[in-house]
Chain A
Amino acid sequence: MIIDINFVGLIITSIMASSVPLILASCGELITERSGVLNLGVEGMMIIGAISGFALMTVTGSLVIAVFGAMLAGVLISTIFAFLTQTLITNHVATGLALTIFGIGISAMIGKNFVGIPGKEFPVLFGSLKDAIPFLSPILFGHSIVFYFAFALPFITNYFLKKTKIGLIVRAVGDSPDSASNQGINVRLVRYLCILYGGAMCGLAGAYLSMIYTPQWIENMTGGRGWIALALVVFSTWNPIKILIGAMIFGGLTIIQFHMQAIGVRIPVQFLTALPYIVTIIVLVVISRDSRKIRLSTPSSLGKSFYKDN
């Protein structure tokens, strides 16, 4: 087979499009985890975002309301998590799992009336430039605004955590809530806000799936992407740039294995299907093998409840 440069461009575009929900959800969860909160409800928040976005789009007809509504829905459901874990001091792991189960259930219930309705066309930016330059054009132009936002987000997140004062506060709260509290930081408030922010990003990731990637609603349509996003955060050692790399590798291998099947490469399909998971983990482990750096970026109090002694 002759490798055509445009063909490669098309594949890269597909890879980028498929990694958008992973990047959004992972970057959201990253902030939550850097503040010391382990929220396993990513899948649940994503699916809530997916149904809310789709339902609002169908009912109001406005894409803007739908996108922001999906983020708001993510915020609302994560408020439950925040209230339980921060105010009532429940266990993070159990509450997060419950949130996922709750999200899947309630989205199916709301979604009953939205099955079998086709979605709306989502507007793309720079659509006219799509064929201007071979190879580069399809990669750079003709995508939705959420797509561009997703690829900017890891860099924004990185800057936020490393260079801003609020980023420093978030990290301080995640590393040592006691010291942070002694410095006069309201640990509970910071964690609340980080959880809500994570919810908003997961909601957006879900909305991307139900409104842009495959515009339709069906039950369980996130198909486990929330869990992959969670795994990406850990394997990237809480580094947003590595999340970007991991998400691209994961999305890339999923798509390339389909291409290999279509070309007729004689490798067991089951192995190809498992490949994205294996390779993503290996690569992220290899690029994160510097244990000193891992210690620096791992939120030391992750998943531990914070009690303030009065």
Chain B
Amino acid sequence: MHKTLIRSFVSSLVFLFTFTVAAVAKDVKAAFVYIGPTGDHGWTYQHDVGRKAVEAAGYKTTYVEGVPESADAERVLRQLANSGHDIIFTTSFGYMNPTNKVAKEFPNVKFEHATGYKREHANVSTYAARFYEGRTILGTIAGSMTKSNVIGYVASFPIPEVIRGINSFTLAAQKVNPNIKTKIVWAFTWYDPGKEAEAAKALIDQGADIIAQHTDSTAIVQIAEKAGIFAFGQASDMDKFAPKAVLTSVENNWGPYYVDRVKALANGTWNQKDTWHGIGDGMVVISDLDSAIPADVRSKVNQLEKDLASGKVHSFTGPIYDQQGNLMVAEGKTADDGMLAGMMTYVKGVEGDIPK
């Protein structure tokens, strides 16, 4: 009997202590959950750069890396929510259900889920970046600079995010050069330098003289450098890995958004929202253009970047046809966000089928 008494006494003490500490501490503490290692120099690395920006703004942060998109994610989230974190950023698509599930149990903790669409509870927000705007710029450069009219594209997995990128890239390239073909190779990995290198080599052997990628390692740009052709960096500025080959990179810039949201929480102005920012809001950043890009292309690209930022130009402006020639977007119209979010068909000019 007295054991139970002692136990309840101790636990109420612990409870009181935590409560007091939580009440005294005014600082907002942010936590980040990563799918990969912070050392991937790609997706997770860029999120961690964002986390460091939050830290630099004067807030405490913690992170957990290499969290699988399974029941483990729930455990990690619960643990973070229990240990006094006020806002938790879950930075991979597969954390969607765990995030919403744990959010229900912790109504006082704010959750921010990257690249998802479910906001089942008032304390869940979602955010993503319009990377396809960056790919419109890459497509414009590729279409202007290719000599073989064959552009290689190493893709990861057949999901709307990747298909959207391929389409926006191809549309932009066709606009400046109607004769180009985009050859796609699916590597079925986000992150395997050896495999990505082999995919890039195959595309080069098939006559591609510019290679774009939607996988995360720097292997592809290095292969392009060796072969003496051009390539584009992904997620972070990859110029130093292949100074001659990399024409520019599309960088993921999460820092401003993270700082914004943590500050909003500290000021009491945090509200649920769905953010999908592009070049205009600085979430997608185009790295410095390489000197190999001719002056006329450079000025065209600079103008395009401004127009995409202001909204004057949309990456998916009609008429857009699919591979069979069916109209997807009518002339003068632009694709709405619903269509973009669920895009699972290639546009005309892309070779091959989407793997089922």
Contact = CB atoms under 8 A, between A and B. Distances in A.
A258 B155 CA distance: 11
Nearest to A263: B206
Interface residues of B, number: 42
Dominant SS at the A interface? helix
Contacts of A270: 188, 355
Nearest to A260: B202
A108 B194 contact: no
B194 A11 contact: no
A213 B194 contact: yes
B192 A264 contact: no
Contact of B37 (A7, A108, A215, A269): A108
A184 interface: no
B142 interface: no
A177 B191 CA distance: 44
A115 interface: yes
A261 B184 contact: yes
B353 A266 contact: yes
Contacts, number: 108
A11 B205 contact: yes
Interface stretch (A26-34, A57-65, A161-169, A216-224): A216-224
Residue of B36, B45, B205, B351 ringed by the most chain A CB atoms within 10 A: B205
B205 A254 contact: no
A219 B355 CA distance: 28
Contacts of A216: 41, 193, 217-219, 222, 241
Contacts of B236: 116
Nearest to B220: A214
Contacts of A136: none
Interface string A250-273: 000011001101111010111001
B147 interface: no
B194 A218 contact: no
Contacts of A220: 37
A218 B193 contact: yes
A209 B41 CA distance: 17
Given A262-B185, A269-B188, A219 B206 contact: no
A296 B183 CA distance: 49
A218 B217 contact: yes
B348 interface: no
Contacts of A264: 183, 351-352
B307 interface: no
Interface in B154-184: 183-184
Contact of A115 (B41, B191, B192): B41
B198 A14 contact: yes
Given A115-B39, A254-B198, 9 more contacts: A116-B41, A116-B236, A209-B194, A214-B222, A218-B41, A218-B193, A258-B202, A259-B205, A270-B188
16 contacts: A14-B202, A14-B205, A115-B40, A118-B218, A213-B193, A214-B223, A216-B218, A216-B222, A218-B218, A225-B194, A258-B198, A258-B199, A258-B202, A258-B203, A262-B202, A266-B353
Q: Rank and list the top 5 A-B pairs by shortest CB-CB distance, nearest first.
A: A258-B202, A269-B355, A214-B193, A115-B39, A214-B219
Interface of B: 36-37, 39-41, 45, 152, 183-189, 191-199, 201-203, 205-206, 217-219, 222-223, 236, 240-242, 351-353, 355-356
